[in-house]
Structure 1
Amino acid sequence: MYYLGDLANTCKLGLQCYSWLMTSVDPLLEERCRAGGDTVCGETEAYAVAKELMKTWPHTQLPGFDFPIEWSNIYCAREETWYNDLVIEAFTTTLSAKYGKNKTIFLPQVQLPGTNEGNRVPEATRAALEMTTEDYIFLPINLNSSHCACIVVDNFKGALMCYDSVDKRTHQKLLQAIANEIISSTLTGFA
């Protein structure tokens, strides 16, 4: 019984995502096409995704990712919604693939708050931070399983920056503590 309720909710979210694609994104892509001088633009990327979304079972794996992400995971992709962890991971994976030859690296997401204060950043993340030669390192941070923020390591300037779309003091304090932990344990030459 729960499965049917969950499936009905999933399908509702899929329809909301479809509606957002067709009413908000598709017109923008059409406008961009026409601004480029084309008179007949054909099928936009948004329409192609929306069409695929409607004909694919929600629990079908999305192609092109080396981790399990289903179509239903991207149903949250619309305005004024929180993105789930898999969407954030898919986004950083997509950016890594697109800008792979760039001087940027995306590390796997860190889940916070950790219980061991002063040792919250996983050892694998610390090792990656120490060994990388890229100019910029993006470290997505999952705060309290409810919100994503990002710490950016600027190796060129020797600085860390914290980005958070929600300007909450508790988030800022936690991000600052993580940044200080990274600087004191891994990137000791940073300010």
Structure 2
Amino acid sequence: MCYSWMMSAVDDQFHYEDAAALAKRMLEAWPFESLPGLVFGFELDWTPLYCARDGAWFHDNFIHAFMIVQADKYPNVTTLFLPSLHTPEMQPRSTLDTEPVHGHDGGSVFFLPLNINNNHWTCVLVDRSSHTLYCYDSFDKRSNQNLLAEVAEELKGKSLFETFQTVAAHSPIQKDSDNCGLCICLFVWRRFFKEAGSDYTATGLQRRRWDLLRTIVSFSDTSKAKETATP
């Protein structure tokens, strides 16, 4: 592991945004050192966070860690990962366990990441306040949107007992091969954090990767400080 592996072109573009200091800290840390405050069935360490570097596909645990931070800041947001599905379906798939959406005591927004074909992140966003289910695929492929629509109908039939409309979100469009995980995180983040912006250029997306990483690490540092201060 070396400094340039983490930084690539970050030095010149984000010199005054503390990216270099954060990268240096990551490279000096023991990879399996646990990060306080980020527990979801097991403790999170540094290794899934390396995917924040440019050109890497987001790790499941990186997405989960980011959403833990959002749920702490915005208590009405709940994240529930859906099991990976495939297109086209070679055989009838089993029904999804959507009971948590109905029985969860969380707030009005449910973020449901869905990995299609084990190689592309999409999501369904349930907004209870507007009675709307948003289906988002950053490639906007018809087969993916059809699958998301099926999931939405299943949610409406089994877990959402009020009348909901389904809306296919056709933008923003991903123009590369590795930012699908970032796109779904931004899809929900922009609803609460205006500073998340709408810059989907290569530079803008790289900056957002570091923003998400910084958000996760800052949350962990704050959690550690609280634990240390507790008698």
Same fold (TM over 0.5): yes
* TM-score scaled by length of structure 2: 0.59
C-alpha change, 1:136 and 1:157, in structure 2 (3 Å) is same
What do residues 126-174 of structure 1 show as CA deviations (whole Å, max 9, x unaligned)?
Answer: 2333444623221222223222222111111211001221222222111
Asked if 1:19 is matched to 2:8, the reply is: yes
Q: Which has the larger radius of gyration?
A: 1
Alignment length (residue pairs): 158
Residue 93 of structure 1 corresponds to 68
Q: Tell me how far apart the structure 2 counterparts of residues 131 and 58 of structure 1 sit (CA, whole Å).
A: 34
What do residues 112-137 of structure 1 show as CA deviations (whole Å, max 9, x unaligned)?
Answer: 218863612x2xx4233344462322
* TM-score scaled by length of structure 1: 0.70
Q: Tell me how far apart the structure 1 counterparts of residues 135 and 60 of structure 2 sit (CA, whole Å).
A: 19
8 A contact 1:130–1:187 mirrored in 2 = no
Matches within 5 A, 1:92-131: 92-100=67-75, 104-113=76-85, 117=93, 119-120=95-96, 122=97, 125-131=98-104
C-alpha change, 1:68 and 1:175, in structure 2 (3 Å) is same
Q: Which blocks of at least 5 consecutive residues in structure 1 are unaligned?
A: 1-10, 30-43
Q: Tell me how far apart the structure 1 counterparts of residues 11 and 52 of structure 2 sit (CA, whole Å).
A: 13
Q: Tell me how far apart the structure 1 counterparts of residues 155 and 146 of structure 2 sit (CA, whole Å).
A: 14
C-alpha change, 1:26 and 1:97, in structure 2 (3 Å) is farther
Q: Tell me how far apart the structure 2 counterparts of residues 61 and 23 of structure 1 sit (CA, whole Å).
A: 30
